Structures are given as structure tokens and as C-alpha cells.
Structure 1
Amino acid sequence: MDFNKNVHKLYFIVFFRSLIPAYVIERLFWQERGMTVLMVVFCEIIYAVTIVGLEIPTGILADKFGRKAMLVIGSFLSMLEFIILLFAFNFWTFALVVFLAGISSACRSGSLNALLYDTLKVTNEQESFEKIVGSLNSLDFFGAILAALSGSALAKYYGFELNYILSAASMLIAFGMTVVLREPPSKKLLVDKQTKTVGWREYFVSAIAFFKNKPRLLVVITHAMAISACVKYLDEFWQLYLDEIGFSVIFFGLFSALISLARIPGNLIAAYLKNYFRTETIILYVLGVTACGFIFSAMFPGWLGVAMLIFVFLASGVVEPIVSGYLHHSGSSEIRATIESFQSLIERGITFIGGIGFGLISSNISVIAGFSFLGAVTFIFFLLFFKKYRGKSS
């Protein structure tokens, strides 16, 4: 079987999953339907709690029964989200959508990279994992650029709803491509020589033992996920930041395209950076840049602040390929999706805790002040990692 066709199918899936014109006006659409910043943060918490509850079970299911099944379920729910949003006019409907989004994200978390890594392993090409992840992410951002540029124009002249109809159609195509993926062979956990059915506990214990035996890896992942968690709120609320400092909605598409474009170089060079720098060094520098970017965007709201936010996206682009490769090269096929679910769980935990402070500050003061809070959070992680990194280096 030519499992390498999976890689080409994943390119199509990632592209159409990112070709979502609704994202460029998402917060304005929610705001138009009566959703305040605090309500949005509550939805983000629902999203995070859903993932916290389902990350590990869905990772175990992916390792136990197959990664493709989880990807198909996740893709179907993503398509359903946009259909429901067309009829959302109150908090509880939006809450239902983010609940489904949480299930979808949990199903996909770990499964895609696990399927990709084991696909490459069939032909002994796993060393190209970071390069392909970077290429997939770059294609993801390219699709987002097209969606942003078209989405802002569509929203201005045809209203917000059309963007959601087109987004549902794009998700339908991604769902169809997900259905035709091939499941690569992977090892399964065995309890004894009779290959009795393995329970959830064995997968959970094996994943815990994996991280317990690799404390260095756990430290790196935790600090890298702090970057991802804070950038996630930047992804969610840059529209309100631009609106707060007086930018027109017609500029939103261009800015969305710029931040997607800014992430591409980091993803493409990540595979090469790991050949010249330690993973700890890369994460430390990105933490520092992220902290400075958030702080300066709050201190100098306007064009300089916008430039600093773009710089944050530029630096953060290297994180996912570097960390995913660091994790999967150290892991094993039996629990590949489960350990990545643990990684995602760490990110969601930081997102949940940081979101409370960000939401309260943004609602009571301003989104600009909320960004300064995110800068403080990343700076604290920078100091903690610098102290640990310096200790390891000495």
C-alpha cells in the first residue's frame, strides 16, 4: 500500500480546513449576535474544559482503535459548528458550538501528527517529520491568507452570514478528504502473550511513565505550550485590539493575511534550526520575543503595536514543528497520540488559567491591557525557563 498518499491528502485537508473566511470577522460576528468579551472568554473556558476532559480519552481511542476514526469524527463536528453558528443568537447556542469545537479539537489532537509520523515510519522517512509539519502549517497559513483577504471583502459587501456558509462548504471538502485517508500500521500495547484487550488504564499509565522518565522533555514542552497558550488569545482577540485602536474592518483581512504570512518562515526553517540550535535555546528566545511583543503592543497601541504583534506571530511559527518533532522522535507508536494529547492538555491548562486573568482585565479595562497581562505571563515563563536552562548549561 502506498501510505505516502496520506501526506498528499493531509495537504488538501489542512488547506481546506484553513480556507475559512468566517475567521476574519469571527469576533465581530459574535459581538453582533450579542456576545461580550467576558462571554467569549466563558466560551473559551468551556472549550478548554471540554478538551481537558476529552484530550486523554480521545488520544487513547486513537492509539487503541485508529487515528483515522478520530480525524473523521473531528472533521464532521467542525463542519457542523459552522452550520449551527448561522442560527446562533444567544450565549447558550454559542456555548454549544464551542463545546462541539472542543470535542472536535480533542479528536484531532495528536491523531493527525501520529498518523503522519507512522505513515513516514513505514518508509523510514520519519526524519522529515518536522519539515512536513512545517510545510503543512505553511499551507494552513496560506489557506488562511486567502480566506482572510476574500473574507473581509465578502463581509463588507455581502454581510457576515455568507462567510459562514462558505466556511461550512470548505469544511465539507476537508471532511470528504479525511474519509479517504489510509490508516498506517502501528504497534499496540499488549497486556500479556494472549494479547488480551488493553484497558484505558494501561495507555494512561504508559503515557505518565513516558513523561516521568523524560523530565527534560516535560520542561521544554510546558514552556513551549505557554507560548502557544498566549498566542492563542492573540489569535482570538486581535480583531478587538484593532477595533479598539481605531482600524477599519476593511483592514482586518490584510492584517489576518499578514499574521498568517508571518508564521510561514518559522514553520519552514524549523527543521533546519534544530540542526544548529538546541530545542531549549529556540524556546527560550521565542519566549523572550513573545513577552516583549505583547508588552510593547500594549505600551504603544497603534502601528508600532500592530508591528510588534506581527513579530510575535513570526517568532512563534517555529514552535509547533520543533516541539512536535521533539516529542514524536522520543515517543513510541503504541502511545503516540496519547502523549501528544498530554501535550495539548498542558497547553489547555495554561490557556484556562491565563484566560481568567485576560478576560477580567479585558472586560473591565481594555483588550490592550489584556495583552499586557499576556506579556507578563510569558515573561514569567521566560524567567523560569532561563533559570532552569542556565542551570542545565552550567
Structure 2
Amino acid sequence: MKITHNFGIMYALRFFSSLIPAYVIERLYWQERGMTIGMVVYTEIIYAVTIILLEVPTGIAADRWGRKPMLVLGALLACTEFLLLLYASSFWHFALVVFLAGISRSACSGAENAMLYDSLMQQGKAASFERQLGLLNVFDLGGAILAALSGSWLAGHYGLELNYWLSLGSASAALLLTLLLIEPRAAQAGEAPMPFSHYVGASLRFFRSQRSLVPVLLSGMMTGSAVGFIDEFWQLYVDGIGLPVVAFGAVSAALMLLRLPGSLLAPWLVGRVRYRVLLVSITAVFAAGFGAAAVSRDAAGLAALLAVCLFSGMMEPLVTGYLHHRADSSMRATLDSFQSLGLNTVHIVTGLGFGYLASRTDVFDGYGFIALVCTAFLLWFLAASRRIEEDGTTS
């Protein structure tokens, strides 16, 4: 097989990894198996802590031993998760599942982007990274939307457990696809790899040497964390503004579909509009959108959240591309894992404020808190990001 086959395989891999109908009825299934809301919160903490602890080590492992082994490991653990969930009956079963899910997420987060970039670089097409990443997001969201729409119908007609058998099938297909990937030459061992401890020091020196990179990465972390609160709590918002449950499927599909134009538009904007202008504009939309959602508390507020999702699709290709165009292949996955580690850390910190307000009052005030955080970050970014214009853009 040729390295060009990696792109088609990665498209299919993203699709089947997202074609998980279990997610649309996950909380109902867990509740059916005896999991209370408090127990779910404990498992989310286990998941977050696992990712924070393992994000960088798995990135280093991908740089040291190859991207493909980590992607295979992540896919194998995903299959194990759904197999365990089919027979889970106690808190510790679910705790083990989310622990494995955290390992799986950590193993894939840095390795996938590194695999994509190095495959493009081997063909002399690294400049198209943002476009390829945007296309991957299209397949990702396409699988997720199909799973959400079909999963709710299947669960209503055939019960909840069927969705988990189908999800196991999709995860198994993803595992088979990872076995077909070809390790790019840039990621193959040439000289003796660095010791594990040297990767951390080299990464920190890299971030210090790239003056423009830190504000860019922080903008991705801030907006990535913020949009996560839409993904996790939009159902409470929609219920709070009085929409019937029958409308939930359409709202869910809209929240995902609106990210596609941004993912496809971002590569076209690179080189035509300055990074600073793009990132400031997107962050401003986030601040205004969450603010409007907190104040309006009606259909206009929901429209504001939809606008946030539209602009959020641009951010991942822009930020990840900015990082990978500057990264060396010998530590590409490690640097990407640092980015993911930062995102999860920011999400936990902002989640404490969101959770406090949302639990004491309602989800509207929780979104108001996110609006304030985005506004404060925007003011800082306006001052700190001037150096981005000095560096220019790369594409």
C-alpha cells in the first residue's frame, strides 16, 4: 500500500469512530444499569484525571514508537469499552470503562494529527493540512449525526442494548482500519530516540522559542472548552426555553451540522486573512454568543448558541495547523498532546465555575459565566496576540 491510502483510511476511521449510536441514549442506559447522577459525576472526574495524567506520556510514546501503534491501542480499548458496557452492572464496571476511555482518548489525540501531517509531508503537501483536517471533521460529524438520528429511533423500537452492540460493531470496524494505516517515514525510527524525560524539556523549550504560538494555542483551548459546555448541556438549555422533546433531534443535528462550513472554510481563509484577525473575531463571537444565550433565554438565545457552533468549526483547523506547521516530526505528537492537555485543564477549571452557578441557579447563568470568561480572555488576547502579526501566517 502507498502512503496516499492513509487519507482514505483516516476518513473512514473518523466516520466509524463517530458512528456510535450508544451516545444518544448513554445516560438512559447507564441509569437503567443503576448509575445515579452522582455516580456519573464521579466517572467524569475519573475520565478527566486519566486524560490529564496520560495525555503527554502517550504523545511521547507516539513520537518514540510510532503513530500507528497508539492509534491501534486506542481503537482496541474503544472496542473493550463497549464490550464491558454490555455486561456492566455496578459503579466499578462503569468506572473501569471511563478509565479505559481516557486512555483511548489520550492515545489517539496526538497520534492522529501527527499521522495526518507526516503523511502529507511525505508527499510534499503539508500546506494542505488544514484542508485535510477540515475534511476529517466532516466525516467525524457525519458519523455522529447519523448515529444520533438513527440511534434514537433504534432505541425507541428495539431497546437500549441494541445501540451498544451496533456501537461495538462500529468500534471493531475502526480497529480494523487502524491496522491498515502505514507509518510515515518521518515517524519511523532513524536515529536513537530521546529518553522520555527529554521530550518534556524539549517541548517546553519549543513553546518558549515560538513567541506567537502560546496565544494561538490558548485561544483554541478557551474556545474548545467553551463549546464543550454547549455539547454537554444544550439539552438543559433547550428544555429551559420550552421546546418540546420532539425537537431535540433537530437541534442536536443543527448544532453539529453548523460546524461543517467552518471546518471547510478555515483552509481557504489561511493566507488570506491574518491569524490574529480570525482568532479575535471567533473569540468575540463566542463571548457575544454565550452572553446572548444567558440573557435572552428564548429562541434568540438558542440562535446565538448555533452561531457559536458555526464559528467553532474554524478554530481546530486554524490552531492545530498553526502548531503543526512549526513542529518537528520527532516530537509532533508530544506537542499536540500538550495542546490537548491544556484544553482539558482549561475545561476542568472553567467547569468548576459553570457547575457552581448552574447548580445553584440554572444553565442560563452557567452560560453567562462562560461569556464572562470568554470576554476576559478576549481582552487579554487583544494585547498578547500582537506578536502573531509579526510572524505572519503559514500555509
TM-score after normalising by structure 1: 0.92
Aligned pairs (5 A) from 1:45-84: 45-84=45-84
State the Cα distance separating 1:305 from its structure 2 match.
2.3
Mapping of residues 115-264 of structure 1, within 5 Å: 115-186=115-186, 195-196=191-192, 198-264=194-260
1:38 is displaced (CA, Å) by 5.6
TM superposition shift of 1:189 = 8.5
Q: CA deviation at 1:29?
A: 4.1
Q: Do residues 370 (structure 1) and 366 (structure 2) align?
A: yes
User: Which secondary structure state, in structure 2, belongs to the residue aligned with residue 330 of structure 1?
Assistant: coil
Quote the residue 1:272 is aligned against: 268
User: Share of identical aligned residues, percent?
Assistant: 46
Q: Which moved more, 1:351-360 or 1:325-334?
A: 351-360
2:276, 2:388 within 8 Å by CA — same for their partners in 1? Answer: no
Deviation at 1:309, TM superposition (A): 1.6
1:329 aligns with: 325
Q: Give the letter for the 2:8 counterpart.
A: H
- How much has 1:165 moved relative to structure 2? 2.2
- Tell me the SS of whatever aligns to 1:109: helix
Q: Structure 1 pair 36/301, CA: closer, same or farther in 2 (3 Å)?
A: farther
Choose 31-40 or 173-182, whichever is displaced more: 31-40
The Cα shift of 1:373 comes to 1.9
SS at match of 2:385: helix
Deviation at 1:134, TM superposition (A): 0.3
Distance 1:238 1:101, change over 3 A: same
Q: Distance in 2 between matches of 1:4 and 1:335?
A: 22
Q: Does the residue aligned with 1:110 lie in a helix, a strand or coil?
A: helix
Given that 2:145 and 2:256 are in contact with CA atoms closer than 8 Å, whether structure 1 keeps it comes out as yes
Per-residue Cα deviation, 1:253-287 (whole angstroms, up to 9, x for no partner)? 22221111100000001101112112222121111
- 8 Å CA contact 1:45–1:355 kept in 2: the answer is no
Aligned in 2, Cα 1:249/1:308: closer, same or farther, shift over 3 Å?
Answer: same
Output the CA distance in 1 between the equivalents of 2:275 and 2:31: 40
CA contact (8 A) 1:21 1:151 kept: yes
Q: Deviations over 1:46-75 (max 9, x none)?
A: 222111111111011000000000001111
For the residues of structure 1 that align with 2:95 and 2:141, how far apart are their CA atoms? 27
Q: Are positions 1:346 and 2:342 aligned together?
A: yes
How far has the Cα of 1:251 moved from its partner?
Answer: 2.4
- The residue identity in structure 2 corresponding to 1:213 is S
Q: State the Cα distance separating 1:96 from its structure 2 match.
A: 2.5
Larger mean CA deviation between 296-305 and 280-289 belongs to 296-305
Tell me, what secondary structure is at the counterpart of 2:186?
coil
Question: Over the residues paired in the alignment, what is the CA RMSD in angstroms?
Answer: 2.3
* Distance in 2, Cα, partners of 1:352 & 1:86: 29
Partner of 1:357: 353
How far did 1:30 drift? Answer: 4.3
Partner of 1:290: 286
Residue 6 of structure 1 aligns with which residue?
6
Q: C-alpha separation between the residues in 1 aligned to 2:153 and 2:366? A: 29
Cα distance between partner residues in 2 of 1:31 and 1:300: 32
1:299-357 per-position Cα deviation (integer Å, ceiling 9, x unaligned): 22332222222111111000111111101100111100000011111101101111222
Kept in 2, the 8 Å contact 1:229–1:347? The answer is yes
Note if contact 2:66-2:183 (Cα within 8 Å) is conserved in structure 1. Answer: yes
Question: Post-superposition shift, 1:90?
Answer: 4.8
Q: Which moved more, 1:140-149 or 1:340-349?
A: 140-149
Letter matched to residue 264 of structure 2? L
Give me the whole-angstrom Cα distance separating, in 2, the residues matched to 1:79 and 1:381. Answer: 39
CA shift for structure 1 position 39: 4.8
Q: What is the 5 A alignment of 1:98-109? A: 98-109=98-109
Deviations 1:197-233 (A, max 9, x none): 5310122221111111013101110122110012112
- For the structure 1 residues 232 and 321, does the alpha-carbon distance in structure 2 shift closer, same or farther, using more than 3 Å as the test? same
- 301-310 or 46-55: bigger deviation: 301-310
Which ranges in structure 1 are unaligned for 5 or more consecutive residues?
none
State the distance in 1 between where 2:36 and 2:363 align.
12
Q: Which residue of 2 aligns with 1:381?
A: 377
Instruction: Look up the match of 2:307.
Output: 311
- Shift in CA distance, 88/147, structure 1 to aligned 2, threshold 3 Å: same
Give the Å deviation of 1:188: 7.0
1:292, distance to aligned residue in structure 2 (A): 1.8
Residue 160 to residue 372, structure 1, CA distance change in 2 (3 Å): farther
1:186 is paired with a residue whose SS is helix
> CA 1:32–1:390 in 2, change beyond 3 Å: closer, same or farther?
farther
Q: Is residue 67–residue 187 contact of structure 2 (8 Å, CA) maintained in 1? A: no
Instruction: Check the 8 A contact 1:41/1:356 in 2, yes or no.
Output: no
Size of the alignment, in residue pairs?
A: 390
User: Is the Cα contact below 8 Å between 1:27 and 1:237 reproduced in 2?
Assistant: no
Is the Cα–Cα contact under 8 Å of residues 68 and 182 in structure 2 kept in the other structure? yes
- Using the size of structure 2 for normalisation, the TM-score is 0.91
Deviations 1:74-94 (A, max 9, x none): 111122223333344554433
Whole-angstrom distance in 2 between the partners of 1:212 and 1:338: 15
**C-alpha distance in structure 1 between counterparts of 2:67 and 2:263, whole Å:** 24
User: Partner of 2:23 in structure 1?
Assistant: 23
Q: Which amino acid aligns with 1:242?
A: V
